[in-house]
Structure 1
Amino acid sequence: MAKRWAWRVTLALGGLLGSYVGMSCLLFVLGAHRASLSQQSEHWQVFSLPESSQRLLIVAPHPDDEVLGCGGLIATAVRQGAQVRVVFLTNGDGYPAAATLLCRSTPTAHDFLALGKLRMQEARQAARALGLSLSDLLFLGYPDRQLWQMAIAGKKPLRAPATQCDHVPYTEALRPGAPYCAPSLVEDLRRVISDFQPTHLFVTHPLDDHPDHMVASLYVREALAQATERGELLIAPQLFYYLIHRGDWPLPQGYSPERSLVPPRGMTAERWLCLPLDAELRERKRRALRAHESQYALMARFLNSFLRTNELFLPEGEWVRNPVDDNPMLRLRPGGDLRQVRAEPDSGGIRLQIETRRPLTAPLRLQITLILVEQSGEWRTRTWLYTPARSQAFEGVVEAQHDRLRFWLPVPEMRHVRRAYLLVQSHLYQVELDRSGILPIRPALSGEQAGVAVDAPSRATAQQSAPLGTR
């Protein structure tokens, strides 16, 4: 009898806990939808129309991203007489569902390669719908869903799980046979930028949920830095971010052509620029999006969510703000909600300050990843894991004060580094809860190394935005 009652009490408590979690998630989603529906595109400054003298370079991690984020912009630029070039980092050849739909069975490496070729053809058809010619498209052919792994692998070629290739396999790519490694991708991007000499450059936002989209900004910034060092740029292009994946954004999901596209929850305080789209531009974007048939067959509802009356772009700036309390998991585990990340280099390491919405407690943990680009061109990666219950085992110095953590990370290589990129992630067991986005850090070189006087080290900061109404 006692065991039976104990079992009933356990089931009751489990049901109450499940109800609490479910209700919290439901209230969160309803609040996010209500906030999204109450916003209008006129809240943001209008994006200036491209001029005929301008040159726009669109960097798309996959075929279809160029239409989702910049389709209306591309069509507008073509109509205004501006020059446009689109460069695809991958061919989208690592999507298992699309490959399965293509071959109607368990996909092999050959099937994934066939998918990559199909998506190249779809991108060409979409380009025609937007008014571009085939010469305006460049395919780099790097591995889909592996761009972040490639960044942390450095110069070591990576073998793509889907295609089983460790080099660019497409004869129509910019550089067939190029190894699957980060310096190779940056070299290709640098050449594209130097050849085209863009006045405006568009790439996916560093806070995009998709890892390929997140790391695309790192590759672009490194390519720009290398082109600048070589004196290859006649003018420094203006850098803009566009967003594709962020939770269940855009809201409401589905085809709502008369609605405005508004930023996701927690990102409305940024200086977004709004590009209005008239009926002709919206129709061109719709036809271009339908050209990506392999994606439409799987996620039409999501793709249709970008067919709105405007597009949004965020100018690159010194401060990158992340959302706070922007998904149900962070509401349940606020200690994993990153509020602010500051990194300041010195000659022997990095001083790092991380603030969370609540104190970080077990079983939460932090993962800190540092990518170093050395003077020699070598890429190196350093990783630190911080668990509150095992702070004594942390490699470095850590000081915890309520919701603020201060680290000193020993990085002797900093004195031989040109640039560094930092990513902070919070985890609950093996599940990622939040991330800072990739923060560029320009190490302070000595005056003898740099050839100039150095007054103070540079800093990289990611600050989480406060909830609306409290800023």
Structure 2
Amino acid sequence: MLSFSEYPVRAASLVAGLGSTVVVAPHPDDEALGCGGLLALLRQAGQPVAAVLVSDGTMSHPNSVLFSAPARQAVRTAEFRHALTILGADAREPLLLNLPDGRVPASPTEPGFTESVAQLREFLEHHQTETVLVPWRRDPHPDHRATAQLVQATLAAMPHLPRRLEYVVWAWERAAPEDLPTAADAVQGFRLDIAAGLSQKQRAITAHRSQVAPGVFTDDSEGFLLSPEMLAHFAGPYEVYFEALES
């Protein structure tokens, strides 16, 4: 199995060719973890950046009594906006799809899928999107995979196909061999040098205070927090992406 560390490195100058970019995040913090460095580099290069938040983010601490589900959503959405500000994407209002955390629809037969595709297409077209950042299609979390399906259905309906870069989040920790690219996927993996945007990325991750110790939703002892081991994957000067092979 090929290690991410064996992927070829692409220079930060790659961002100059990405143009108007939209990042699609399944949960608040995925934008910082998976591609915060790239987003920082885009803004340093003067490229416009907009963001989409797919889920409501309420299930990281479902047993909190002090924070109701709407309150948890409000906290996490505010953290998302703060992180975007740090990364330089604050000039554009994000699209909030407000789909249920843990139950993002993955097909047209599920409630909310078709409506979300329509909203996402309108958003991408409004921003004249040239590049879309989306979770790797088999990133091992159901909401990440469902988000990839939403984006795939959206792009299939667009007359002008944006460039698609797929980022990894949970693949660092949980990927089984079958979760990683195969020849049938027709993609190439690479590591992007994000050293010039790393400090912004780290600050953006920290902005998600509810997801890092000591946290915000402190009355749910079984709630989710990013572990030091998980965070270590996002502390280095590279981000991993997959992109379709040129035909």
> Per the shorter chain, which TM-score range?
0.7 to 0.9
> Greater strand percent: which structure?
1
Correspondence for 1:293: 209
Higher relative contact order (CA 8 A, sep 6+): 2
User: Retained in 2: the 8 A contact 1:204–1:243?
Assistant: yes
Seq. identity, %: 29
User: Retained in 2: the 8 A contact 1:200–1:238?
Assistant: yes
SS state at 1:299 partner? coil
**TM-score if structure 1 supplies the norm length?**
0.44
Please state if 1:103 is matched with 2:28: no
**Greater shift in the superposed pair: 309-318 or 280-289:** 309-318
User: Retained in 1: the 8 A contact 2:18–2:131?
Assistant: no
For residue 189 of structure 2, the aligned residue among 262, 272, 293 is 272
Partners of 1:273 and 1:136 in 2: CA distance = 30
Partners of 1:264 and 1:46 in 2: CA distance = 25
SS state at 2:166 partner? strand
Structure 1 residues 267 and 290, CA, compared in 2 at 3 Å: closer, same or farther?
A: same
After superposition, the C-alpha distances for 1:407-460 in whole angstroms (9 at most, x for unaligned) are: xxxxxxxxxxxxxxxxxxxxxxxxxxxxxxxxxxxxxxxxxxxxxxxxxxxxxx
Partners of 1:79 and 1:55 in 2: CA distance = 13
SS state at 2:149 partner? helix
SS state at 1:85 partner? strand
Partners of 1:182 and 1:53 in 2: CA distance = 27
Partners of 2:135 and 2:59 in 1: CA distance = 19
Please state if 1:86 is matched with 2:43: no
Please state if 1:200 is matched with 2:131: yes
User: Retained in 1: the 8 A contact 2:165–2:241?
Assistant: yes
Partners of 1:306 and 1:268 in 2: CA distance = 24
After superposition, the C-alpha distances for 1:57-108 in whole angstroms (9 at most, x for unaligned) are: 111111100011110000000000001111111121122xx243x535xxxx
Shift of residue 266 of structure 1? 5.8
SS state at 2:137 partner? coil
Shift of residue 206 of structure 1? 1.2
User: Retained in 2: the 8 A contact 1:125–1:291?
Assistant: yes
Please state if 1:114 is matched with 2:114: no
CA RMSD for the aligned pairs?
3.0
| Matched letter for residue 210 of structure 2 | S
1:208-227 to 2 correspondences below 5 Å:
208-227=139-158
SS state at 1:207 partner? coil
Correspondence for 1:154: 109
Partners of 1:130 and 1:194 in 2: CA distance = 22
SS state at 2:188 partner? coil
Correspondence for 1:49: 14
Partners of 1:292 and 1:114 in 2: CA distance = 15
For residue 282 of structure 1, the aligned residue among 198, 203, 224 is 198
Quick check: which has more Rg, 1 or 2?
1
| Matched letter for residue 202 of structure 1 | L
User: Retained in 1: the 8 A contact 2:9–2:193?
Assistant: no
Partners of 1:99 and 1:130 in 2: CA distance = 28
SS state at 1:271 partner? strand
| Matched letter for residue 109 of structure 2 | G
User: Retained in 2: the 8 A contact 1:45–1:272?
Assistant: no
Please state if 1:308 is matched with 2:230: no
Unaligned segments of structure 1, at least 5 residues: 1-31, 105-109, 158-180, 229-234, 251-262, 320-471
User: Retained in 2: the 8 A contact 1:67–1:289?
Assistant: yes
After superposition, the C-alpha distances for 1:388-414 in whole angstroms (9 at most, x for unaligned) are: xxxxxxxxxxxxxxxxxxxxxxxxxxx
After superposition, the C-alpha distances for 1:16-71 in whole angstroms (9 at most, x for unaligned) are: xxxxxxxxxxxxxxxx9xx85xx746x41415522288111111111100011110
Partners of 1:208 and 1:53 in 2: CA distance = 23
Correspondence for 1:123: 80
Structure 1 residues 138 and 153, CA, compared in 2 at 3 Å: closer, same or farther?
A: closer
Structure 1 residues 121 and 304, CA, compared in 2 at 3 Å: closer, same or farther?
A: farther
User: Retained in 2: the 8 A contact 1:203–1:216?
Assistant: yes
1:117-266 to 2 correspondences below 5 Å:
117-133=74-90, 135-147=92-104, 150-152=105-107, 154=109, 157=111, 181-228=112-159, 235-246=160-171, 248=173
| Matched letter for residue 93 of structure 1 | T
1:13-32 to 2 correspondences below 5 Å:
none
Shift of residue 207 of structure 1? 1.0
Partners of 1:213 and 1:290 in 2: CA distance = 21
User: Retained in 1: the 8 A contact 2:172–2:233?
Assistant: no
Shift of residue 249 of structure 1? 5.2
Q: What count of residue pairs does the alignment treat as equivalent?
A: 230
